[in-house]
Amino acid sequence: MKSKIMWCLVWINVALLVGWALRLTSPTAQAQAFQRPPNVLLIPGQVNGGSVGVIYVLDATGGRLSAVSYDDSSNRISAMPMLDLNQVFQTAANVGGGARRGY
């Protein structure tokens, strides 16, 4: 009886040792990628020649610009398609040579 208990304890210790060794040799877990919520700036404005107000929506995290307006006479909300500002600035830098003069 004591011999069976002793062998049972030995095998439990071996199993624990193997589990501990596998844990030490396996790669550590990587944290999930955390995606920040967008940093959005809403700017009220007006369009020249228009009777409706406009809200410019600037997503500083994604580098995008859009605009939204509400037409009170027709009860419609109009939205401008997203504009990628990174692409616009890159194109402007390529056209202008990318050098600042006079500074």
pLDDT of residue 49: 79
Output the CA torsion 83→86→92→93 (10° steps). 180
What is the chain's pLDDT, residue by residue, as a tens digit (103 residues)?
A: 778 888 888 889 999 999 888 887 777 666 666 777 778 999 998 878 777 889 999 998 888 999 999 887 888 888 999 999 988 888 888 876 655 555 5
**Where along the chain do its domains lie?**
40-96
Q: Helix (H) and strand (E) counts for the chain? A: 2, 5
What pTM value is reported for the model?
A: 0.53
Tell me the C-alpha distance between 55 and 40, whole Å.
Answer: 12
Percentages helix, strand, coil for the chain (3-state, rounded to 5) are 35, 25, 40
